[in-house]
Structure 1
Amino acid sequence: MNFRMQKADIPFRIVLYGVLLIALVIVSFPFLYVLFSSFATTHEMNTRGFFLLPKVWSLDAYKYLYFNDLFTKSIQNAVYITVLGTAINMVTTCLMAYGLSKSWLRGRKTLNFLVVFTMLFAGGIIPQYLVVKELHLLNTYWAIFLTTAITPFNMIVIRSFFQNVPSEMEESARIDGCGEWRLFWTIIIPLSMPVIATFTLFYAVQNWNTYFTAILYVNDPGKWPLQVFLRQLLIVSDTGLELTAGGYAFGPPVKMAAVVVGAVPMLMIYPFMQKYFNQGMLLGSVKG
């Protein structure tokens, strides 16, 4: 019986793997094109037209970026925003999620409603900009950190995970004299590592790809994160970026190389976080 069932599944699996293979090619082809084009020469990209593998392999595009001060500074800014911003995101999100997960918290339903309300209706860009301006946070990274400190969806999923922690474990800790802060940091957080790792990855990707908020609040080119620099690089004819750096000329491969550098760090981190990803999402979505 099992043999017949497996044999009957063969056509379905062939179709399934075929569809997945086609999807893989569609998704990976643009990235491979950008990756290989970054190793091409400017002359080849300007004269050859569309191609996948370059005839002449060159590192000139990456050397240009290496000697470009604005690019190296934007990398440092992106790392700074990602590390500190993700830490702020996770601390504020976990603290709020833990508080709202407690049924004894006064006003809990009202606060939960306000969180959900922000997912449906936003205050708008202009009011938010005016608030940031009045707080004298323009042209500072705090304008980015504070306006994106908590994502409501992430908070709700983490809150649901905290609600699944057995109440008997918390009561036992309190009987042993464990305070609320100690309970949170030494018991709840270690038990919640799958969901914390998952949303740390979410927030890290969000901060690494910071673009709109940086354009809105940061005007100093020396404080631009990588994604804003990349945007300026792609429209280099309208900017003051130098067309030469370290003796290497700017050309189309430089744009491709910048895209690769911007994408690779997150692609390298994801495999190490993948084992927590599915587990964290499933555990956090058991209860609403």
Structure 2
Amino acid sequence: MVTTDPIQAVPDVAAVRRSTTTIKDTRGYRAFSVANVVVLTLICALTLYPFINLVAKAFSSEGFIIAGQVNLIPRGFNITTFAAVLSDDMFWINYKNTVIYTVVATAIAIAMTTTFAYAISRKELKGRQFFIGLAVFTMFFSGGLIPNYLLINELGFKNTIWAIVIPNAISVFNLLIMKSFFENFPTELEEAAAIDGLSTYGVFFRIVIPLSKAVLATMVLFYAVAFWNSWFSAFLYLDRAELYPVTVYLRNLLAAATGTEGLGSDGAQIAANVQSVTMVLTVLPIICLYPFIQKYFVSGVMLGSVKG
């Protein structure tokens, strides 16, 4: 009987490591990596420069702004415009309106887009192609501004939140992304859930929705940004200043930048950098929100576009 020494049977780890062949990057690949880093760095710099310049102007004094001497660093640090805007009670009322409009509109849009996308993603749905064609048709044709205004007025939506949240409840672009995602969803999971006794609604709410967090987060970001930045619908359908979102308030402030004496003692200073201040105040909440859902945003877009 032949016996094997267990100590000798253990491989020499150091010898294995020495014998392992290390694959080195080719010269062409290293050159590509360097060029890729340089190009992406330049793109990031070009993308960030306008925003940094905007922030610098928002905190700069009138003389340096008019002379064109503000670049990336504030000159003659000044917060007169910020103080004038933030001390206005109407600004905070309109800011609260924007938060309410965005939350309600995004919730309605997500509910309608998700259910519609899931329905038209089912190949067994009768009239599926008709509903898809109907949705795509609206991407290229609409009733026009005046018919839409008359419709909102006849429905009694004017000067209400519904004039803001209902007309844009479904974005066809977002709808098609979610439809593509649901079409690639594993049918085995739905079939197994159906065998266990779940209804169609049970499958949707207990299986599909919990496994769709990535694409849902992407849609929330898309809709929230769109509703937060929207101002034309409110400008068109709302007549009372206390109902305006903050974007309309800032738009009116920008339009009246030459007559800002009522906002503070230094009207010239406010007129000089009111555009920068309004833009910073508008985009700041979205910038703060984006890092928390960035990973879902990237993976959600990929899941909705790559065939599984």
Q: Given the two structures, how large is their TM-score scaled by the length of structure 2?
A: 0.84
Match in the other structure for 1:277: 297
- Report what 1:243 is aligned to: 262
Q: CA–CA distance in 2 between the matches of 1:22 and 1:179?
A: 53
d(CA) in 2 for partners of 1:183, 1:219: 44
| TM alignment of 1:214-233, pairs within 5 A | 214-233=234-253
Of the candidates 58, 64, 75, which is equivalent to residue 38 of structure 1? 58
- What root-mean-square deviation, in Å, do the aligned CA atoms of Structure 1 and Structure 2 show? 2.3
Distance 1:238 1:51 in 2: 21
Q: Distance in 1 between matches of 2:25 and 2:213?
A: 42
Is residue 60–residue 70 contact of structure 2 (8 Å, CA) maintained in 1? no
Q: Aligned match of 1:3 in 13, 24, 37?
A: 24
Distance 1:276 1:206 in 2: 18
Q: String of CA shifts for 1:98-118, please: whole Å, max 9, x gaps.
A: 111222222111111111111
Per the TM alignment, residue 76 of structure 1 is displaced from its structure 2 partner at its CA by 1.0
Q: What is the CA deviation profile of residues 14-38 of structure 1, one whole-angstrom value per residue up to 9, with x for unaligned ones?
A: 3333332332222222211111121
Mapped pair 1:50 → 2:69: yes
Higher relative contact order structure (alpha carbons within 8 Å, sequence separation ≥ 6): 1
Post-superposition offset of 1:238:
7.6
What is the distance in 1 between the residues matched to 2:146 and 2:278?
Answer: 32
- The corresponding residue for 1:82 is 102
**Ranges in structure 1 where 5+ consecutive residues have no aligned partner:** none
Identity across matched positions, percent: 36
Give the corresponding residue for 1:265: 285
Judge conservation of contact 2:258–2:271 (CA < 8 Å) in 1. Answer: no
* CA offsets 1:240-274 (integer angstroms, 9 cap, x no match): x76325x6753323432221111111111111111
Q: Could you tell me how far apart the structure 2 residues matched to 1:30 and 1:123 are? A: 37
For residue 140 of structure 1, report the CA deviation from its aligned partner. 1.7
Q: Which residue of 2 aligns with 1:153?
A: 173
Distance 1:55 1:157 in 2: 45
Is 1:204 matched up with 2:217? Answer: no
Distance in 2 between residues matched to 1:100 and 1:287, nearest whole Å? 17
Greater Rg by CA: 2
Residues 83 and 248 of structure 1, relative CA distance in 2, 3 Å threshold: farther
Distance 1:285 1:255 in 2: 38
Residue deviations 1:42-86 (CA, integer Å, cap 9, x gap):
35434x433123343233222111111222122111111111110
Query: Quick one: which of 33, 42, 46 aligns to 1:26?
Result: 46
Deviation at 1:150, TM superposition (A): 0.4
Alpha-carbon distance in structure 1 between the residues aligned to 2:179 and 2:281:
35
* 3-state SS in 2 of match to 1:106: coil
> In structure 2, which of residues 89, 92, 95 is the aligned counterpart of residue 69 of structure 1?
89
Given residue 32 of structure 1, which amino acid in structure 2 is its aligned partner? I
Secondary structure at 2:158 match in 1: coil
Larger mean Cα displacement after TM superposition, 51-60 or 86-95: 51-60
Q: What letter matches 2:161 in structure 1?
A: Y
Give the Cα separation in 2 of the matches to 1:70 and 1:83. Answer: 20
Structure 2 unaligned regions, length at least 5: 1-21
Contact 1:196–1:280 at 8 Å: present in 2 too? Answer: yes
Hey, what's the Cα distance between the residues in 2 that align with 1:50 and 1:234? 22
Q: Is the 8 A contact 2:225 2:286 kept in 1?
A: yes
Q: Kindly report which structure 2 residues correspond to 1:69-148, keeping only aligned pairs within 5 A, or say none.
A: 69-148=89-168
**For 1:113 and 1:243, how far apart are their aligned partners in 2?**
53
Aligned length, in residue pairs: 284
Contact 1:65 1:72 in 2 (8 A): no
Q: TM-score, normalised by structure 1?
A: 0.90
Instruction: Rate the CA distance shift 1:55–1:153 in 2: closer, same or farther, 3 A.
Output: closer
Find out whether 1:189 has 2:209 as its counterpart.
yes
More off after superposition, 34-43 vs 72-81: 34-43
Match of 1:3, as an amino acid? K
